[in-house]
A and B are shown apart, each in its own frame.
Chain A
């Protein structure tokens, strides 16, 4: 296998894994908890910048003639851990403000505006995070020996794959649990959930925080991989790709998100290598157009995605073995999917019941 081919495949796999992790994060916020986070990319951005700021150090800044408001060189894996922590903390703060004080239908706009404002702020102020150039020359995590060997890429991808499996375990435990069920109840009908004793705000805040942490993890890994982290990596269109992954792949379905990631990355990689006809932007353009078309078509025809939400596990009384297997409750024992008639309207306004 030629070096170039190997890099091509490794990059593709890595991007897919990152879309999976990020997709799971967005899925938790959006499809499970019902928060329409159009500003998801903000957390990805935060993760990337934290990794950059905590690996470059003053020496790294001067080497690239860059400016940042703060930097400190810390050894791996501290920066990536910090990225997740900072992402979670900022998600908690933003969530606390937006989820409590803004009406549900306007939360989407506020979150979108936040992500956009952050984008414009970073590009406007070159001293903050080095403006539109971004942070450069981010040193990659050193695994064993020399960074520049051919095996490094695959080692990197391998590490991310292990991380992805860990995320999967956490996400699955989160969604297939009383916590996950409570989130879905709040999503379906907030007043009814509150009437059962659930603090909707607190539950949504937790989901928002976890999703933000996942986004930051993705950003941090990305920054390590690209060694550059600039606003073009997290332009607003990137949130759109994450939504495509979740919508096309399957809302509130972890496996669906994987499928969605494969579809989106597959498309991106395919168009990457299209011969450049006309102006140089054709490949990128086709990528965007295809992603757009795919999203629109799916929303029109199959809004649940390729793998829609499945029956979630319920633990029946009986032997431990049965409990471990997580038998579905008796009844129509076949696996069915959630397809109520008005498939699109599920996120619609709920009447806060006042007469």
Chain B
């Protein structure tokens, strides 16, 4: 029993790590533009493929991951500039943006499936496996946790202590006030989407590494987890996003251990629904 719990805890940490960067990226978009971006998942999938292409061309996987992140960052900026901002300035409400982003996500997915095809691929990973009792950890999982930890910490420091971070938080809290304080809100928004895109890409690649053998549509399994983590943590708050990722990681790991891994998404969505019923602001948010 303890052993099973230890295993669960271990995989919970890994899942949480895998989710954390992606969740923070997702929540930043909502924080700064008020958009619940359903294109995000499709972009994660795109990053997986880009990294694969780069890695197959001989580039080191971790560098490919950054490269993929960069591509998605650029794509995100285009998304924000060409679609999100014009629609918002016309007074589009949240459901309109949800439909639009969902439509774009569908279009991206359809395009990729048509050109790339639905075959499974995987990164050629060479890693060693370590055993702690009966708990198995691979080097890649260790790398994932490390990258996630560093990434989260850096973002946290960025948001808390740098001028940019403060500008982002200010814009998220009150754009009008931020504007009158001299913060160029449009630039902050663009940069936030850039950062968020980077996180999206890196997060996507981490997921692909974790799954091992993936195809383009594999992001569909994980996107509900990302959304659940974001909402549970309180959409719009980076710190909450991390806590949300931890909680969802824990919950899904337990679900996998007790039921089967097929139920991960159901459980995560169940948690999401429950949270929206009981604490719509999120669990890890200071009460107003």
Contacts and interface: CB of A to CB of B under 8 A. Distances in A.
Contacts of B98: 38, 108
A36 interface: yes
B107 interface: yes
A230 B42 CA distance: 24
A143 interface: no
A288 to B, nearest CB: 4
Nearest to A123: B262
- Chain B interface size range: 35 or more
Interface in A43-99: 97
B110 A288 contact: yes
A123 B261 CA distance: 12
Given A278-B115, A303-B96, A347-B95, A292 B87 contact: no
A349 B96 CA distance: 13
Contact of A281 (B96, B102, B118): B118
Most-contacted residue by chain B among A106, A123, A286 (CB, 10 A) = A106
B117 A279 contact: yes
A120 B96 contact: no
A155 interface: no
A295 B91 contact: no
B193 to A, nearest CB: 18
B157 interface: no
B276 A281 contact: no
Given A38-B98, A285-B110, A344-B93, A292 B104 contact: yes
Nearest to B221: A120
B134 to A, nearest CB: 26
B94 interface: yes
B102 A120 contact: no
B176 interface: no
A292 B106 contact: yes
Contacts of B87: 299-300, 344
Provide the main secondary structure of the chain B interface.
Answer: helix
A300 B90 contact: yes
Contact of B114 (A114, A123, A278): A278
Contact of A285 (B86, B111, B224): B111
A345 interface: yes
Interface string B243-271: 00000000000000000101101100110
B114 A292 contact: no
Interface string A97-132: 100011101101110011011001101110000000
A322 interface: no
B100 interface: yes
A135 interface: no
Interface string A277-313: 0110110111111011101100110010000000000
A288 B269 contact: no
B280 A124 contact: no
Contacts of A300: 86-87, 90
A120 B263 CA distance: 7
A interface, how many residues as a size bin? 35 or more
A281 B118 CA distance: 9
A36 B96 CA distance: 10
A344 B88 CA distance: 10
Nearest to A345: B91
B5 interface: no
B97 to A, nearest CB: 9
A293 to B, nearest CB: 7
B114 A106 contact: no
Contacts of A292: 103-104, 106-107, 110
B113 A281 contact: yes
Contacts of B75: none
A156 interface: no
B86 to A, nearest CB: 7
A348 interface: yes
B179 to A, nearest CB: 21
Contacts of B270: 117
A109 B110 contact: no
Contacts of A281: 110, 113-114, 117-118
Nearest to A342: B91
A328 interface: no
Contact of B269 (A105, A108, A120): A120
Contact of A109 (B90, B113, B231, B262): B231
A247 interface: yes
Given A120-B224, A240-B106, A292-B106, A109 B276 contact: yes
A165 interface: no
A289 B107 contact: yes
A278 to B, nearest CB: 7
Given A278-B115, A281-B113, 8 more contacts: A109-B36, A109-B276, A113-B269, A281-B117, A285-B113, A291-B103, A342-B91, A344-B93
* 8 nearest A-B pairs in the assembled complex, by CB-CB distance: A285-B114, A124-B262, A288-B110, A292-B103, A117-B269, A285-B110, A345-B91, A292-B107
15 contacts: A97-B277, A113-B269, A114-B269, A116-B224, A117-B269, A120-B262, A121-B266, A279-B117, A281-B110, A284-B110, A285-B114, A295-B103, A300-B90, A344-B90, A347-B96
